Structure 1
Amino acid sequence: MWPTSTRVAVVTGGSRGIGRATVSRLAADGLAVVVGYVAGKEQAWAAAQEVAVAGGRALAVQADVAVEADVAGLFDAAEEAFGGIDVVVHSAGRMTLAPVSDLALADLDNLYRTNVRGSFAVAQQAARRLRGGGALVLLSTSVVARPLPRYGAYSATKGAVEALTKVLARELRGRDVTVNAVAPGPTVTDMFLDGKDEELLARFAAEPPLERLGTPADVADVIAFLASPAGHWVNGQVIRANGGVI
């Protein structure tokens, strides 16, 4: 077991995108980080190695967030390696876009499995295990508050995440643990870029008053604030990190 003088974070979906940027950001803040992943083993281990090379502490652990035993094992690994858990960031997610009239229900089931069941499974373990002063940060999407065609199913799953956030924050009264959600706008990740041409990306980039797409680092900075002692008075909130789109 590592020494436990520093805070410890578990980041699901930590092998790429916003999760990967969050791993780097929290490690830079001095946290030991457990990189959760379901696929992309090489990317996850590269993320952990990057932290180690910079003088931090990290390990990668495979876990399907929709499988209760996997999620429990992820948290077990964090406690065994580092002695406890202070921050949980649930970045793992899935996005399928289609008009409501055209979406296959099998695709809806897959979205629900990862985005709703997975969020609940991770939140449940966080509620049981986070130490006092800790923080749970879930990932939503700004599209929940800005309805766009083809985003119906995805937005519905993330709306569930926002509801869960607000309820759990109140259920943890007396534990000194915060629960918040970060809802990114258009952000340059593989998941967002998939299936979008240059013209569509340019339209997305022109919408924010800041006139650009977000980056994973932009979102990771917001997550890191909520996970830090400086952000501990923010609780039960959904932060729309989108450059001012809405």
Structure 2
Amino acid sequence: MEPKITIITAVYNGAKYIESTIASVIEHGGSCAYIIIDGGSTDGTQAIIQRYAAHLHFWVSEPDKGIYDAFNKGWNKANDDSFILFLGAGDTLLSLPQRESFEKADAIYGRVMMDDKSYFRATADFRLRLGNTLHHQALLIKKKLFPSSPFDLRFRTYADFDLNQRMLKAGVDFLFDSSFIAYALPGGVSAKFKVRESLAIVNKNFGPIYYVFSVLYYTLQFMKAKFAR
């Protein structure tokens, strides 16, 4: 049987980008159920979504509390036996994992192409305890792991990092599939690194020792970036 996949897009005033995201999902035919949660856009986004309504499992346009509130809404509308992927407006899905991967793990991650055509180096090992080493654009999560609303809305920028750490802490089986590829639009809510929130998430999930390790890790990364200029 084909794996059941649900793709969720959160958008607000994204008329400039939303159509490319929708097209990238539709290109995969009927293999994916597609959900779009619009935050009440006023720039023509709703009209674009309506043109593709026949291809959508569900869509709504209404005010929300931010991207992770929208993602939670989409998650709760997804089929209970599906794997779920999150895309923002402007992100595009390039290819899905091999069918066998869905039988081997509860979370599948792949490669995310960045603006300079390089790939984000995704990992789901000890490094995820220090910083977010997974991008949601190429991360499929089995819904049965979290029956409802997996994102903690206390974290406005890095609730996905919190979710990834919680999965790691719970011993979720992660699997890397190199054939799973997505493109991430540059910018977005996490474009400017928010140190305090990231450290708060590390402290919440892994305690003060990893908090200190993360401070050292972020400092090292900052210094490397500074001297690389």
TM-score normalised according to structure 1 size = 0.34
Q: Which has the higher strand share?
A: 2
Q: Which has the higher helix share?
A: 1
TM-score normalised according to structure 2 size = 0.36
